[in-house]
Structure 1
Amino acid sequence: MASASIKEFGKAWWSEVYNRIIGAVVFLDEASAECLHWDGGLFNLLSGGAVSVKSLSPFEFSRKEHKKAVFITQTTSTQLRTIHEIIRNSDFAHCILISTISLDVVLLEINEGKDVSDVITAGRGPAEATKQLEAMLIEWIGKKQCAAEIVHIPIFTITPTNVVFLTPPFTKVYPTYDGKLIPDSTSLDLFTLTSQERSEVRRLASGLNGLMDSMNLKEDVFYMGAYSSLVAGVLQNSPVCLARRKNCSNPASLILVDRTLDLCAITSHNVESVLDKVMAVLPRFPGHANDVAVDMSALCEANVISHPEDMQLSPGCLYHADEACIQTLDYMINKSQKEVMFDLYNKLSKLDVQKSPGPKTLLKVTPQSVEKIISASKGNYDVIVKHLGILQQAIGVVQTLKSPKRAQFDLLTSLEIQVLQNLAASRDSTSVLHQISQLIKSRKDRNLPLENLLAMIVHVYSLIGTEVSFSKSHEDSLMETLSVAIFEDHRSLFEESGKMVTPEECDEIAKNIMARLKDVAQMRKILVKYNSVLKPCETGVGHEYKGVIHQLVDDMVDTERPELVDLRYKNEGIKDLLRSGLNILTSKKARTTKHPLDNPTVIIFVIGGITAEESKRLHRSVITSGVDNTVIFGSTRFVTPAEAMRDVLAL
């Protein structure tokens, strides 16, 4: 099935799902539910003929009269056990397992410890996996008259805009090696990883392969970073990918980049993008990584005590499948706060009950002026139902801009700028860590959360790389300060896990954090040209941060075509060597290296998260360069400074 864009890729495969659900109880795992949300949500399944929709949980089952079940899942071994439980407690006669992961990968996982390489090499992996999974389902259903179907449908993308896609099933994929940020050995391959990490690499590669297949793309793979080289290796060498490249005809470039090479962009509080601000202030929509929970009490008559714990009122969210809301979400990523506020005001004034002043007469749209229209709709359920999407978006933005966290972020932003100028001006680190230690000690007076200060420390270590080294006494003093702060704030810091810690354990945590920070500073050591992200401003005054990916994109679209020395090309291996070996004998000119823009479509995929702000800036670089190529940006998820910090420090 060929689709021209990533948005169409998602739509086309969801329609394959909708064809199979008539009369069925549908069970979805969290990642598939998040993908469904961005395709239009629950009503797509219900209006498409599903009799009921449930989460994939061992505590779920179905009523006796329901005989058909559809499971939409990543097909992990845990999920297969869950499916077994659900079938055992229900009375199905027909089960369809929709695996969102390629079946050759599933085969490797369900036969962990057995050698199935011959089957895979012969290209029989998917057929063999189908046979094994069908047999399992039939055994679990346990009836004479029953049917089981296995089908692979690559549902793993969501598209916040036409040029950005994210991958909910791979939210947790991060460039680490047995929990470390830097691999132990230089000769890295799949078998130096733990089996869990190995399966994550294969799953991510299988998703990207499914995407290429549907878009009929035959790609050249480029990569930056050790983890990306592993994913590139699977894409280059696995039999399923090799078979696909024989059949696909549209040339493309796929560039894989490790997030860990540059953590500054995602740990910075200095962002213009409204979506980043909203994501950083509001809690996540339950079970989702890329949407937020909006407190809807502003519209309702219900008395809500504490959102989001008070469950009598469902939260709202930002993404809605109607055109007006899709446009507003795009503005929240790509336009200024002022433009977003005018857009919301314009759309809301169409449904205004009390006729507020028209946007023409307003010089400035404030959160208060938007809020006024919202409260005019309170309890007016006819208006609310018709315009629910835009109301949720508006409430989310207003709640963000009025949140006390905004003032914290403004303070963190000014501190960040100060640190950047200090480091850039003197290339001297004497005061920076001392400043940060003082900030941590006085955080309660300034109302600064520890997790945001930790994000700032990651930002600083990633910013300096190997250009500045901190003195041991300052690092030791920071470590002590951290240990005390972690003990004092462990309740909020480890809220999710509910972990209780002793002072000794806090010493250990602080020590591990410092070790990881030193690794963060070493990340760009493997790069030749992009090893620094501190650049003199074009105005000639001061310095600014210019990210690794941004530098790469600028060089890539540069008409002079500078050599992209840090971008490795996964060539075809031995054939290439032989070819170039013979070339040396027969021609004077060495082979020119491949350039990503040699192909009309370029996909840049960042493993480990991206921000809306970053995707906007990268897209802008491409547009202003005037190149004709279609450049698409993908990542595992949208990420906030606090989330990025937790990924890096493994908190």
Structure 2
Amino acid sequence: MASIKEFTKECWTEVYNRIIGAVVFLDDPSAECLHWDGGLFNLLSGGAVAVKSLSPFESSTSNHRKAVFITQATSTQLRTINDIIKNSDFTHCILISTVSLDVVYLELNDGKDVTDVISSGRAPAEATKQLESMLIEWIGKKQCAVEVIHVPLFTISPTNVIFLTPPYHKLYPVFDGKLTSETAPTDLYSLSTEERSSVRRLASCLNSMLAMMNLKEDIYYMGQFSGLVAGVLENSPVSINRRKSCSNPTSLIIVDRTLDLCAVTTHTMESILDKVMAALPRFPGHSNEVAVNMSPLCEANVYTNLDDVLSPGCLFHANDDSCLQTFDNMINKSQKEVMFDLYNKLSKIDVQKSPGPKTLLKVTPLSLEKIVSASKGNYDIIEKHLGILQQALGVVETLKSPKRVLQELLMSIEKQVVQSLAASGDSTSVLHQITHLIKTRKEKNLALENLLALLVHVYSLTGTEVVFTKEHEDSLQDALAVAIFEDNKTMFPNDSGYIVTPEECDEISKRVMERLRDVSQMRKILHKYSSVMKPCESGVGHEYKGVLQQLTEDVVDSTRPDLTDLRCRNEGIKDLLRSGLNILTSKKKNTKRPLDNQTIILFVVGGITAEECKRIHRTVITSGIDNVVMIGSTKFVSPVEAMKDVLNL
């Protein structure tokens, strides 16, 4: 069976076969996917004459007659393609839809009754005809050639076992913008139009991936939103047809992030990649890559504000095996091992001949910085070793960042909170302590957004096991309202000069508290995994053990414990028949399990951390099973980003 990395390569090969002599227009998610496959030069060396952003302000010169559009094929993007074509002089246009054409057909014909076309499986062919006729009309020439194809460009593979989906980085387990833990069944129409479209699009992309990898899946899910994605994937006509021809059995487990928000809002980070993601800004237009300040290598003016840096560096370098290994280490190895790995690689290009890695007891950010600085202005060396220099600078900037000091302070606060909750289950001091931190944040140099992340962490950690008093919550709400008013320019930056009023801040604070109470209720639908606070193996104190970690341990356990909280989509009517037959027989029913299949894909809707990926991967390795387990999510996420997703700020 092919890996997801090979699947992604195969998709890009389809694109590279069509770009010779073309101007290529990409939307942001496709551009991000391209970066993780090798970047811009893959297109230029493959024969593209120019590469541009999919923007209504872009066009091409009259000597360029061929265009390739790589797009999610939304209605807005199709209007943009119309603008570009009308402002250019193309005679040959190829539209590559990264989303399955049956979903595009539904959206093109929104409001019309297209049930027959969808159920008969004719939707992809009808969408192709519709899009081709639109392209011909926009080109407006008798002699023109058009082509519409679907290529599922939606995955990136940071390592051989992890994959992420940039087009769906904004997808979050909410129902019409609200968090819900209700056990009553929900359907697609309980979502907003945009949310409904995102669910269909994600399900269709997962279906395309399974098709190209020849996988026939048993679908499991945990959480209401994941149940909807699973339902669309299970029941869509294209999925049903695909399962008839695919032969490799696999288990696909889809999980809602909202069931456990502790892991993504904690400041206790061992993985250095998580530290980098929390400290450095995102690379422009990207959801999973950071912007590294490269000015220490340049003989130009040194800027202190990264916004002023014209060409930031990054961490992932798809065409450099040495850098790929370092990136893998940044997820799976300790900080000390990553530092020695970077020092070892940098020492081979060191023009000042610093001490060899074997003679050093400890590698510090200063040690790395010294070697990097020695390459300043030496553009021959920089060009040859650009990848490792960018990675080293990213780590140095992270470990020297003021945000690291802040993270360490928040780490110690988190530990105190966990200890006080675990010791007595007493909630009285916790909210009082956080309220005091909010009021004194400026003296301690704490950012309000980090304290909000801490609040999400605490409410998710306690779940329904601890009930906070109304008095303490009211006091917290008042402190938040004042803090939001004082910090609104940094919390909600806008250039319009609009002034936020105290009344609006009161309202925001009230909404935040409502969301936090919702967060505490998320696991009430679970039985086995309702608690994430577990006694330490040493017998002293408690520790956090996440829902994903608990689930993985049970899934890969060869003793096959009950998976009470994991629903299986495929059993459907068979379950009802079995339950009826159980009246007549005392035999125990033989329930399907994810471990029955050689391949298991665990997919988290709403983001994941590098640390979680590392722990899940280690659990699989130490279990001794020989099944292949792949870990997927919509994005890598930092505590502040996770907080904004949850609180909708």
TM-score (norm 1): 0.98
Aligned match for 1:124, one of 115, 122, 137: 122
SS in 1 for 2:530: coil
SS in 2 for 1:639: coil
Which residue is 2:433 aligned to?
435
- 1:111-190 correspondence to structure 2 within 5 Å: 111-182=109-180, 186-190=184-188
In structure 1, what residue type is equivalent to 2:176? D
Which residue is 1:521 aligned to?
520
SS in 2 for 1:431: helix
- 1:17-166 correspondence to structure 2 within 5 Å: 17-166=15-164
Give unpaired runs (5+ residues) of structure 2: none
Q: For residues 496 and 106 of structure 1, what CA distance do their matches in structure 2 show?
A: 34
Which residue is 2:530 aligned to?
531
In structure 2, what residue type is equivalent to 1:288? H
Contact 1:177 1:183 in 2 (8 A): no
Q: For residues 239 and 619 of structure 2, what CA distance do their matches in structure 1 show?
A: 31
Measured after TM superposition, the shift of residue 369 of structure 1 is: 0.7
Deviations 1:365-418 (CA, angstroms, capped at 9, x unpaired): 111111110011000000000000000000000010011111100000000000
Q: For residues 338 and 325 of structure 2, what CA distance do their matches in structure 1 show?
A: 10
Contact 2:181 2:522 in 1 (8 A): no
1:314 aligns with 2:311: yes
Contact 2:183 2:525 in 1 (8 A): no
Contact 1:304 1:310 in 2 (8 A): no
Aligned match for 2:344, one of 343, 346, 352: 346
Q: Which moved more, 1:496-505 or 1:608-617?
A: 496-505
Give unpaired runs (5+ residues) of structure 1: none
Measured after TM superposition, the shift of residue 181 of structure 1 is: 0.4
Q: 1:640 to 1:497 in 2, by over 3 A?
A: farther
Measured after TM superposition, the shift of residue 301 of structure 1 is: 0.5
In structure 1, what residue type is equivalent to 2:317? H
Which residue is 2:395 aligned to?
397
Q: For residues 62 and 217 of structure 2, what CA distance do their matches in structure 1 show?
A: 49
Q: For residues 239 and 260 of structure 1, what CA distance do their matches in structure 2 show?
A: 29
Which residue is 1:570 aligned to?
569
Which residue is 2:193 aligned to?
195
Amino-acid identity (%): 71
Contact 2:602 2:630 in 1 (8 A): yes
SS in 1 for 2:475: helix
Contact 2:95 2:149 in 1 (8 A): yes
Q: For residues 527 and 135 of structure 2, what CA distance do their matches in structure 1 show?
A: 53
Contact 1:483 1:503 in 2 (8 A): yes
Q: Which moved more, 1:498-507 or 1:381-390?
A: 498-507
Q: 1:18 to 1:166 in 2, by over 3 A?
A: same
In structure 2, what residue type is equivalent to 1:537? C
Q: Which moved more, 1:32-41 or 1:492-501?
A: 492-501
Q: For residues 628 and 342 of structure 2, what CA distance do their matches in structure 1 show?
A: 30
Deviations 1:37-70 (CA, angstroms, capped at 9, x unpaired): 0000000000000000000001000001110000
Which residue is 1:615 aligned to?
613
Q: Which moved more, 1:603-612 or 1:568-577?
A: 568-577
SS in 2 for 1:160: coil
- 1:347-426 correspondence to structure 2 within 5 Å: 347-426=345-424
Deviations 1:427-450 (CA, angstroms, capped at 9, x unpaired): 010010010010011111111111
In structure 2, what residue type is equivalent to 1:315? P
SS in 1 for 2:562: coil
Contact 2:431 2:476 in 1 (8 A): yes
In structure 1, what residue type is equivalent to 2:313? G
Q: For residues 496 and 256 of structure 1, what CA distance do their matches in structure 2 show?
A: 36
RMSD: 1.3
SS in 1 for 2:158: strand
SS in 1 for 2:177: coil
1:468 aligns with 2:466: yes
SS in 1 for 2:359: coil
Q: For residues 115 and 31 of structure 1, what CA distance do their matches in structure 2 show?
A: 31
Contact 1:21 1:50 in 2 (8 A): yes
SS in 2 for 1:71: strand
Which residue is 1:643 aligned to?
641
Measured after TM superposition, the shift of residue 582 of structure 1 is: 7.5
Measured after TM superposition, the shift of residue 496 of structure 1 is: 6.1
Measured after TM superposition, the shift of residue 527 of structure 1 is: 0.2
Measured after TM superposition, the shift of residue 591 of structure 1 is: 2.6
SS in 1 for 2:418: helix
Q: For residues 351 and 186 of structure 1, what CA distance do their matches in structure 2 show?
A: 61
Contact 2:181 2:525 in 1 (8 A): no
Measured after TM superposition, the shift of residue 500 of structure 1 is: 3.9
Which residue is 1:303 aligned to?
301
Count of residues in Structure 1 that have an aligned counterpart in Structure 2 = 647
SS in 2 for 1:257: strand
Q: For residues 201 and 264 of structure 1, what CA distance do their matches in structure 2 show?
A: 24
Deviations 1:530-573 (CA, angstroms, capped at 9, x unpaired): 00001110011111000011001111112221100000011243
Q: 1:188 to 1:497 in 2, by over 3 A?
A: farther
Measured after TM superposition, the shift of residue 351 of structure 1 is: 0.4
Which residue is 1:601 aligned to?
599
Contact 2:282 2:291 in 1 (8 A): yes
Q: 1:54 to 1:615 in 2, by over 3 A?
A: same
